[in-house]
Structure 1
């Protein structure tokens, strides 16, 4: 029997008991889990914890789950599984259109949620936390003067300050030579 995938999961839900329940099921499956309870904390935690999968509620204090997903998609390629009580078709379409990879409505089966997370972890993903966690060999950051491009963490810094790039901007190949800069 194949071993289950390992990974880092960030669970974000303002319902503390529910977040802890989800986290416990994920931990029992051998996954590393962090929990946050509001949108602002969620964005910061994605930067710091670099999860492979973000389990995200839509109804959060601070900034809502839709805005969290939009902001996270600027700098992270982690999988996003929205876990929410909102079950209208429009909510699902909006969630998926802002970058969610899956959408599960409450009430839900914790075992099914774990299976969905594990299925995501089995799929190859370029960049993001999966590579930082060691699913492929780590690359050294590209350094050109004060510009530092770290492909593994998908972060760019100029003179020590972070540069916010969308996924498309980050993935865009540079044409020409370095001397042209």
Structure 2
């Protein structure tokens, strides 16, 4: 999405930056992992296809994506590639009803269990509510991704449907003022131009 093309979002533990061409090689390397492919319901792409995908995420008005940086590494090394730990995105599935699918991936094993995903997904949802006008979120999660299932339940999402063919559960959450207030209480964040 062009709306976030110059947006940097800073949280307590993470920094979200737009997905740029120079991020693609490391991202592509992550996506060679069969485990990540299974957890994210993704198919392996060639490096050229990954560059095309990055371009579509940048240009398409239905997609908004950020690369997640470990803030402490970034502040030490001042290098986005070294600091990359995952990504988060929103895909507009129904513009008329302002429904967006939220996704989160922590790809670096050293970053797991440190609540980077929790902070990233909350910031991404608040960004989606404020700047993309999301009224309902959906999350499609693999049956085997217990960590994500539990996280989205803690975030107030409820099961909407199951697909045995794709082995995934679709969760959803309608945006309410009380929920947005609760999300705001969970984290601190600020937006900068980059």
- Structure number with greater CO (CA < 8 Å, separation at least 6) is 2
Greater strand fraction, Structure 1 or Structure 2: 2
- Scaled by the length of structure 1, what TM-score is found? 0.28
Work out which of the two has the higher radius of gyration on C-alpha atoms and give 1 or 2: 1
- Scaled by the length of structure 2, what TM-score is found? 0.27
